Amino acid sequence: MTCSSFLRSHCLSPEEEARRLELYNQGLSDYEIASFASCSAEGIASWRRRRGLSAHRKHKEYDQRLELYHRGLSDAEIASIVGCEQRTICNWRKCHGLLPHQRKRKHRQYNNTVKVHMSQVLTAEQCAEMRLFLGALAALSKSLPSGQRPDVGRFMRRWRQLRTAG
User: What letter would DSSP give residue 122?
Assistant: S
Element (H, E) at 81: helix 75-82
pLDDT tens, per residue, the chain with 166 residues: 444 434 444 688 899 999 999 988 887 778 788 888 888 888 998 999 999 998 876 556 678 888 888 888 888 888 888 887 888 888 878 877 888 887 655 555 556 666 667 667 778 888 888 888 888 888 888 888 887 888 888 888 888 887 787 6
- Verdict on whether the full-model pTM lies above 0.85: no
The pLDDT value recorded for residue 129 is 84
CB distance 88 to 79 below 8 Å: yes
pLDDT of residue 5: 39
| Rg (alpha carbons) of the chain, rounded to whole number | 31
pLDDT of residue 7: 46
- Give residue 12's pLDDT: 87
